Structures are given as structure tokens and as C-alpha cells.
Amino acid sequence: MTPRRIAILGTASSGKTTLAEALAARYGTVWVPEYLREFVDTEGRVPVAADQIHIARTQRQREDAAAQQAGKYLFCDTTPLMTAVYSRHYFGGIDAELALLADAHQRDYALTLVTAPDIPWVADGLQRENEEVSVIVNRLLLDELAARGIPYLLISGDPDQRILRASGYL
């Protein structure tokens, strides 16, 4: 059986990882961590424009690999679309290959959850984002979803409220 892929999008420190991990535990399945975090830790630097397609491809490859072990659901802590949104913000646009990857794969998700930036912001090592940038990136994300006609569910509140709300749509 092919798992239903659930995209979890949002800015840094908006609770994506916490939600993905909790939902996977609740439903007895696996989740796909955000590759960007590993990239920054491994490389010891933030990505540059030329890294964006590699980050998005690796995220998708890991998602495809995890689908082999998933149960009914596969919870994805970000997607290539989020990489595209960050590219627009930090590098002034989305390169054609990344745009194609984001378009092609965003349709594979049964549900898109967007974590609201309504929890306390916490710095994340080398990640360059701060609370003010998170507000901007959140707006860009919502605009990108609207422009692409992608329906989403905004998930807000404390972790327990988020899990309950997301579970109501699965």
C-alpha cells in the first residue's frame, strides 16, 4: 500500500519537526526529517543559491526512501516547495529546475499542513532566520500556496492542540 504523504510546511521554529514526529508516533509510522538542518550541520554553513536544488532533491529522495517503510501515512517535515519559498526570499527567485521539482511533487501530498508561527521562536544554530524573517517567510509561503492553488490547513496552538487538529483531517 502506498502511504498518504502529508506535507508539513512552515518557517523555522514554527513546530514542523515536533508535529511530524508526534503524528508519526501517534499513527505508528515514519516521518522524514528536514534535510536542510542536516545540510547546515554537516557543511557548517548556510546554503547558497547553488545548493537549493541539491537540498530539494535530497529531501525528495529521502521522502521516497521513507515511503518504503511507512504505514498508512508518511509525514514530511518540509517539501521542495519550502525550499523554493526560501530561494525566493534569500536569493531573489526560484530557479527553473527547483520550480519544476516543487510543482511536480507538491501534487503528491494528500494534505498540506502549515504550522503557524504562534509558538515562541527559538534560534536554531547556524540557521540564519530570525523571528522577523520568519514573519516574512510565512507570508511568502501562504502567497506561494495561493498562487499554486494548493489547499492547506493552518495548524496553530500548543503541541497537543496541533496534534488534535491535524489528526481531525487525517
What per-residue confidence (pLDDT) applies to 127?
57
Please say if the pLDDT value at position 126 is more than 70: no
Q: Does residue 148 contact residue 107 with C-beta atoms inside 8 Å?
A: no
Alpha-carbon gap, residue 169 to 146, rounded angstroms: 20
pLDDT in tens, 11-42: 988 889 999 999 999 999 999 999 998 999 99
pLDDT in tens, 96-123: 999 988 887 677 899 999 999 887 666 6
Assigned CATH for 4-168: 3.40.50.300
Closest-CA residue to 85 (of 18, 154, 142): 142
* Sequence ranges of the domains in the chain: 4-168
Q: Which residues of 68-104 are buried (b: 16+ CB within 10 A; e: fewer)?
A: eebeebbbbbbbbbbbbbbbbbbeeebeeebbebbee
Q: What rounded mean pLDDT belongs to the chain?
A: 91
